[in-house]
Amino acid sequence: MEKLDIMDTDTLLQACDNVFNTYSRRGFKVTDMMMDMQFDPLKKQLMMRNVKLNTASAKEHVGEVERFIRVVKEHVRALRSRLLYNKLPKRVVIAIVKHVGRWLNVFCPKNGISNNISPRTLITGVKLDYNKHCRIEVGAYAQVHEEPDPSNDTGKYRTTGAIALEHNDNMQGGYKNSRKSRTIDKRNNPPIKNK
């Protein structure tokens, strides 16, 4: 899942190329795309990439996509209702949506391609590890490491508070965190448990 700030033709085409590259790294080839009319201007560029674009007409929907969007919204609402915050910054909401999309693809669907390999593992080749990727839930309060310079400065704190956003998909199991008005990429301490 990717958040696009600008929905112009070049940005949409770049997003499509990112998807094609992700699939091709694992030996898959995208041949058909079912999209809404917003993607119509890409028809010629996609034909040059040997991808057939099927766009839905106005007020017409692609059932599988609409169902998946409903499922994502339900999961986002459920996760949001468990958080203790009254208002969430935009970057936390984006992280929640990415988190839900990621975890929906971690488990094998009933009528999926494989009963043993999740769609995420099939496409990315990455198996999630509970001990690395489930240490803290998105939106939870965390203490993240500061790296003071010099490292032996006792006058500076070694951790600071932040909101956990998402894991980095790296082998170490790092997380992105939100502190004040920026996203930081630091090592997390174990989460603080709510009583």
What are the residue ranges spanned by the domains of the chain? 9-55, 63-186
The answer to whether the CB of 92 falls within 8 A of the CB of 106 is no
Residue 53 neighbours by CB under 8 Å, 6+ apart: 32, 33, 35, 39, 40, 42, 43, 46, 47
Residue 165's SS3 state is: strand
Supply the pLDDT for residue 195: 46
Residue 167's SS3 state is: strand
- Check residues 53 and 131 and name the one with the higher pLDDT: 53
d(CA 172, CA 49): 36
pLDDT digits (tens, 9 = 90+) for 85-118: 888 888 888 889 988 988 898 888 888 888 888 8
Q: What is the dihedral angle through the alpha carbons of 15, 58, 97, 31, rounded to the nearest 10 degrees?
A: -40
The answer to whether the CB of 179 falls within 8 A of the CB of 161 is yes
- pTM metric for this prediction: 0.76
Residue 187's SS3 state is: coil
d(CA 138, CA 36): 30
Q: How confident is the model at residue 181 (pLDDT cuts 50, 70, 90)?
A: very low
Residue linked to tokens 């839900």: 100
pLDDT more than 70, % of the chain: 85
Q: Which amino acid, residue 2?
A: E
pLDDT digits (tens, 9 = 90+) for 118-161: 888 888 888 877 887 778 888 888 887 777 666 666 777 777 78
d(CA 134, CA 188): 12
Kindly tell me if the per-residue pLDDT of 65 is higher than 90: no
Q: Residue 24: enclosing H or E segment and its boundaries?
A: helix 9-25
Helices (H), 83-172: 90-104, 119-124, 130-133
